[in-house]
Chains A and B, each alone.
Chain A
């Protein structure tokens, strides 16, 4: 067959190109485009560390219009949402623990991006209630494959729960699960990066130099997904790391009084400089946030060089937080990455001039959780609240008020919590439950089936300094093959979540750019109920001797045989039987003398009873043997089939 003439081929190509372009133009005309933005927030922390928060947002318009093709939006996520009818999903991988006392508990960063260690997954579905559990199980497997993590352990009904209001208000369509022991490493980061259009080849994500981000004190990688019919799918991928900058740089400048905060720049933190944005991103910005406390001290109105610190590069814009109550508030220095390129890379940094001590705003209460008791039989979980006197700063020092706190806690079934043993101590004095607990909802645990869930609304008096809640529990026994390989290490109880619904940590910034709203600042503005996660508890459980089942089987069977045999023997014995036996023994000769006699060729007299009983006996014996054989064969057959 001859090839088509080149002119015709060119014509065809042109035509098809035209067609494609027109289709694309039509699609663009009707709907807003898929968008991708990348942002980075840097912030010095009071304990000589630095926080870096990467925020990537991809959004896709409602899928019905766009069809099945995506431009920058990750197709895997779109399919996930379509398949499982997810309305909201949040998956976080965290290593380390957010230090609420040092790094703050009352800012958007700590309420939204401080996560419990390990994996936490929650999802709300847009499905009938009876299909949700099955969908959740499928979802865990899908995510497990997508992120190279053992999220599939959340499939078992012992691992997830359905909180009603303690975690997030819902109508029963939300499922929550946590794996506190999951290790987080690059194998989880790589698939996460694959969802970004530029991966880590260009743009802000290129700063993610693995050795430096995994060296940090806290590492939380999160994927938040929101989907609705009206605005399509939005995914927020965030990575929050707390790093220790190199302390020795800049120390030679000032070492007179006190210790200077370490000065740092992107090059120090990530071993990279930022050389341009990701081409497909709509906007690419870097923010450097200076806490309110420092701004208060520096005095000058948001300039990038003052007597306290100098920024390495002049910012493109300075944003002040809009705050009604305080005159001073935190300020953001904004850099637009599109202004920088390979020849002029961006290296945001801060150099301190004076030694400085400041603090972040804490949550109203520091929540801690710990275990009490010793031994492997029972124990207690205690949850303690220490007041930070924040309400005095915020609402004045009225002492007759009360502060609401919601406690949400999931306990695995092998920790058998006695909810009736709940005790509450306020400033060391025992209080009646009804005085403090406004509302309580308990889903008791079922052995090997359901974890226990506790949702509790507390009303703590403002005047109190500390409160402690304690719950007794018994430690259960696991089946021998339910123990993990390192059974003696103990078992983790996932973090409890304490929410303070009356406190909101949202921060709003003036919208200077009317065309574009920064997604990072948008998340700061919304949904800022103050939350804090408590520690993960490690409960040592009794381990059996793992070679024991064999002993148990053999010994128990022996004892049972002893019981059965001796009892039967006792039952079939009759009075005077011994005499009869003695008579028989006198008549009957032993087997060996009989054999000897046979061998010698002597004729042995048959026993006086005659041969008929013995033959009867032998047929009986034969019947018994056959019966046992039949039973054994049938049992074998049945057990195999």
Chain B
């Protein structure tokens, strides 16, 4: 069942953004450290474009670290200035559109997930559960969360390039959910090209393409089939068909890899054309990728941060392999926690994806604490920043403390939501009758 007034609310969100962009004046959001990081700042992009126009390498100096393709697309827009608006209004308008597309894709992904879920439940002969438990469309909720998330709005209005990175991640997940290997490969290659961290999402993407969208673990089907065989031995087709659901399909994965190679070559080719005048790809790899990857590894701390992302990839993949979409959400959240230059734009992405699991998350603990924690942090952080940088009355410790609190909140969110898929399946266990009835809910 879809949310009523979905379209009017989505339109209102887009309208709100437009109002802020067109009539908000210069809110100086683009220079706020929470909104734009050195990697996503549009001012730095404008500087890179200016350097390129002055027939210098955009990567000379240490202003711009982004992709050459963004320079190609957004660069010319940074030059145009209209009277009465802030400098990067055209880019902001593009970001409004990008946000809208991302929200629509999230909605479509939610639809896919719901269909898959209903099919699974049906194959488990839990039709009454389908009609009982699923009463809201998770996709609609997720896209509305993404559209109305204040952080997404701030990121969009503050014009930094993270909406585009988010869009690419969403395209990738949508493509994988609907088993469109070329689209998924395009999203994957672009997202990795833009910020590198989404590279770890290859695990959930391959799982999604191989197994299809989130399903209960194989064990459930086995229990079901065993209980089915107990009750009705002759009914062999059903159990075999229910096992088929979980079989890994190599074909889409193979397609994905082929397309990924194709898109990689294409992106590299485009980049080299863009950078043709100023040293080509060599320049890009030296000044952009290696600046982003290896320069971070300079000290122990940065290793700890960046390695922690990688540490968790495999254990989570093993544990959550039956729920690749959820796995993708956990990965994006972990990246948002631990990346070197975190911003609220990353949080906007994983909070939007969180909405896809609205049905399961209804059971989540600490929601009150988390909700007000997020609000508190997002109010306190500008205050502390102001005290430290502008007033000079507070020192850096206070600002650092809000950062710590933010990380803690995100950790709690990830851990709490990480429990949930198991819980939701205990529910299914309990619904499964004699085989699963002894499993009580964990909490």
Decide: A444 and B442 in contact? CB cutoff 8 A. no
A528 interface residue per 8 A CB criterion: no
Name A427-468 residues within 8 Å CB distance of B: 440, 442-447, 449-450, 452
For B416-437 the 0/1 string (1 means CB < 8 A from A) is 0011001001100100000000
Decide: B337 and A376 in contact? CB cutoff 8 A. no
B411 interface residue per 8 A CB criterion: yes
- A570's contact among B392, B397, B418, by CB below 8 Å, is which? B418
Residues from chain A with Cβ under 8 Å of B46 in the complex: 418, 420
Q: How far is the CB of B392 from chain A (nearest CB, A)?
A: 7
- B390's contact among A377, A450, A567, A568, by CB below 8 Å, is which? A377
In the complex, the chain B residue whose C-beta lies closest to that of A563 is B411
Q: A562-B411, A575-B422, A578-B442 are in contact. Are A545 and B63 (CB under 8 A)?
A: no
B276 interface residue per 8 A CB criterion: no
Decide: A559 and B408 in contact? CB cutoff 8 A. yes
B395 interface residue per 8 A CB criterion: yes
Decide: B31 and A567 in contact? CB cutoff 8 A. no
- B61's contact among A376, A421, A445, by CB below 8 Å, is which? A445
Name B52-96 residues within 8 Å CB distance of A: 54, 56, 60-63, 78
Q: A542-B388, A567-B415 are in contact. Are A474 and B396 (CB under 8 A)?
A: no
* A393–B270 CA distance with the chains assembled, in angstroms: 58
Decide: A563 and B407 in contact? CB cutoff 8 A. yes
- B31's contact among A444, A474, A555, by CB below 8 Å, is which? A474
A419 interface residue per 8 A CB criterion: yes
How many residue pairs bridge A and B at CB < 8 Å? Answer: 116
For B393-418 the 0/1 string (1 means CB < 8 A from A) is 00111001000100110011011001
- A442's contact among B51, B78, B337, B422, by CB below 8 Å, is which? B51
Interface locus among B108-116, B308-316, B340-348: B308-316
Residues from chain A with Cβ under 8 Å of B426 in the complex: 575
Q: A452-B61, A571-B418 are in contact. Are A442 and B404 (CB under 8 A)?
A: no
Residues from chain A with Cβ under 8 Å of B51 in the complex: 419, 442, 444
Residues from chain A with Cβ under 8 Å of B422 in the complex: 573-575
In the complex, the chain B residue whose C-beta lies closest to that of A578 is B442
A560 interface residue per 8 A CB criterion: yes
* A378–B26 CA distance with the chains assembled, in angstroms: 15
How many B residues touch A, CB cutoff 8 Å? Answer: 49
Residues from chain A with Cβ under 8 Å of B439 in the complex: 575-576
Residues from chain A with Cβ under 8 Å of B389 in the complex: 375-377, 542
Decide: A579 and B304 in contact? CB cutoff 8 A. no
Q: How far is the CB of B223 from chain A (nearest CB, A)?
A: 12
In the complex, the chain B residue whose C-beta lies closest to that of A547 is B397
In the complex, the chain A residue whose C-beta lies closest to that of B217 is A575
For A166-203 the 0/1 string (1 means CB < 8 A from B) is 00000000000000000000000000000000000000
- B407's contact among A553, A559, A568, A570, by CB below 8 Å, is which? A559
Decide: B429 and A551 in contact? CB cutoff 8 A. no
Q: A570-B419, A573-B419 are in contact. Are A376 and B442 (CB under 8 A)?
A: no
- A445's contact among B62, B311, B397, by CB below 8 Å, is which? B62
Decide: A548 and B397 in contact? CB cutoff 8 A. yes
A327 interface residue per 8 A CB criterion: no
Residues from chain B with Cβ under 8 Å of A573 in the complex: 419, 422
Decide: A579 and B440 in contact? CB cutoff 8 A. yes
Q: How far is the CB of B441 from chain A (nearest CB, A)?
A: 9
A566 interface residue per 8 A CB criterion: yes
For A548-562 the 0/1 string (1 means CB < 8 A from B) is 100111011001101
- B63's contact among A377, A444, A544, by CB below 8 Å, is which? A444
- B308's contact among A419, A551, A560, by CB below 8 Å, is which? A560
Decide: B61 and A545 in contact? CB cutoff 8 A. no
Decide: B429 and A575 in contact? CB cutoff 8 A. yes
Decide: A552 and B415 in contact? CB cutoff 8 A. no
In the complex, the chain B residue whose C-beta lies closest to that of A422 is B50
* A444–B312 CA distance with the chains assembled, in angstroms: 39
Decide: B415 and A570 in contact? CB cutoff 8 A. yes
- A444's contact among B61, B78, B338, by CB below 8 Å, is which? B61
Q: A376-B389, A446-B61, A562-B408 are in contact. Are A545 and B50 (CB under 8 A)?
A: no
In the complex, the chain B residue whose C-beta lies closest to that of A569 is B415
A564 interface residue per 8 A CB criterion: yes
Q: Which of A442, A571, A573, A575 has the most CB of B within 10 A?
A: A575
A374 interface residue per 8 A CB criterion: yes
* A59–B390 CA distance with the chains assembled, in angstroms: 56
Name A112-161 residues within 8 Å CB distance of B: none
- B411's contact among A440, A566, A574, by CB below 8 Å, is which? A566
Decide: A374 and B50 in contact? CB cutoff 8 A. no
Residues from chain A with Cβ under 8 Å of B31 in the complex: 377-378, 474
Residues from chain A with Cβ under 8 Å of B429 in the complex: 575
Q: How far is the CB of A563 from chain B (nearest CB, A)?
A: 4
Residues from chain A with Cβ under 8 Å of B415 in the complex: 566-567, 569-570
Decide: B60 and A444 in contact? CB cutoff 8 A. yes
- B404's contact among A474, A545, A553, A556, by CB below 8 Å, is which? A556
Q: A377-B390, A416-B63, A562-B411 are in contact. Are A545 and B56 (CB under 8 A)?
A: no
Q: How far is the CB of B335 from chain A (nearest CB, A)?
A: 13
- A564's contact among B63, B301, B308, B419, by CB below 8 Å, is which? B308
B292 interface residue per 8 A CB criterion: no
Decide: A376 and B397 in contact? CB cutoff 8 A. no
- Name 11 extra pairs, CB < 8 A, besides A377-B389, A571-B316: A419-B50, A420-B49, A420-B78, A444-B61, A447-B62, A545-B396, A555-B400, A555-B404, A560-B304, A563-B407, A578-B442
Residues of A whose CB lies within 8 Å of any CB of B are 374-378, 413, 416, 418-421, 440, 442-447, 449-450, 452, 474, 542, 544-545, 548, 551-553, 555-556, 559-560, 562-564, 566-571, 573-576, 578-579
3 A-B pairs with least C-beta separation: A444-B61, A420-B50, A375-B390
Selected A-B contacts with CB under 8 Å, 28 pairs: A374-B390, A377-B31, A416-B63, A418-B46, A419-B50, A420-B78, A442-B51, A442-B54, A443-B60, A444-B56, A444-B61, A446-B61, A452-B61, A544-B395, A551-B400, A555-B400, A555-B404, A559-B407, A560-B308, A563-B411, A564-B308, A564-B311, A571-B418, A573-B422, A575-B422, A575-B429, A576-B440, A579-B440
Residues of B whose CB lies within 8 Å of any CB of A are 31, 43, 46-47, 49-51, 54, 56, 60-63, 78, 301, 304-305, 308, 311-312, 315-316, 319, 337-338, 388-390, 392, 395-397, 400, 404, 407-408, 411-412, 414-415, 418-419, 422, 425-426, 429, 439-440, 442
